[in-house]
Amino acid sequence: MNQSIDLEAAKAAFFSSGGRIIVLEGFQYVPFRQRHHPEPKPKRAKPVRQEPGGERKHRAKARAAQIAELAKTMTCGEVAKLLGETKTALWGVAARGGFRFFSPPKAARPVKVKAEPSQEDRDLADKIIALRDAGKSRCRTIAELGIGNCRLVRILDLFDIDFPVQRRQE
Sequence spans of domains, the chain = 56-97, 119-158
Average of pLDDT values for 115-124? 88
pLDDT value for 51: 66
The closest of 69, 72, 61, 51 to 96, measured between CA atoms, is 61
Which pLDDT does position 140 carry in this prediction?
Answer: 92
In eight-state DSSP terms, residue 73 is T
How far is C-alpha 94 from the chain's CA centre?
24
Express each pLDDT in 14-72 by its tens digit. 989 988 888 888 888 999 999 989 999 998 888 877 666 678 888 889 999 999 999 99
Look at 115 and 74; give whichever has higher pLDDT. Answer: 74
Q: What is the mean pLDDT of residues 80-98?
A: 93
Residue with the larger pLDDT of the pair 135 and 48: 135
Contact status, residue 117 vs residue 158, Cβ threshold 8 Å: yes
Q: Comparing 9 with 115, which gets the higher pLDDT?
A: 9
Task: State percent of the chain over pLDDT 70.
Answer: 95
Output DSSP code: residue 96.
H
pLDDT higher than threshold 60 for residue 170: no
For the cut 90, the answer to whether the pLDDT of residue 78 exceeds it is yes
